[in-house]
Amino acid sequence: MDKKEKLNKIKGKGKGFFGEFKDFILRGNVMDMAIGVIIGGAFQGIVTALTADFINPLINGIGGAEVGGTFKIYGGQVIKYGDFITAVINFLIMALVLFILLKVVNGIMSAGKKKTEETPAVVKSDETILLEEIRDLLKKKK
């Protein structure tokens, strides 16, 4: 086997690890996911600020209970139930916003597609079917 055949054989094996990795990274789904993660991280800061600076003070003012409270247990340990409640509120807000965003994006995507109307199937009568069969038989005779 000469050098040219060996080179062609090596080339035919594929793109290699880095070529496959590049193809994987540049696929649309991976890039969309990366953008979603970055935007989600930035949005999390907004939701946390909304919860900590707006919702928690409203709950404290209306109910008289402190959302950022703690519960002391044995050995000087504390359970931070307020932080847990804040995290649950953050999660619910994020889930609601993502749900609404997904509904809007799906609406926009479906509006962009042309609606194809299905043509109703033509129901042929028995007479029409019989006449077509006669026509086909006559064509075969000629």
Could you tell me the residue range of the domain that residue 23 belongs to? 15-111
| pLDDT 10s digits, 10-65 | 555 556 788 777 777 777 677 777 778 888 888 888 888 888 888 777 777 766 65
- How many domains does one find in the chain? 1
pLDDT of 118: 58
Looking at residue 55, which CATH number applies to its domain? 1.10.1200.120
| Mean pLDDT computed over every residue of the chain | 77
Regarding pTM above 0.85, the answer is no
Please state the three-class secondary structure of 47-101 as a single string.
HHHHHHHHHHHHHHHHHCCCCCCCEECHHHCEECHHHHHHHHHHHHHHHHHHHHH
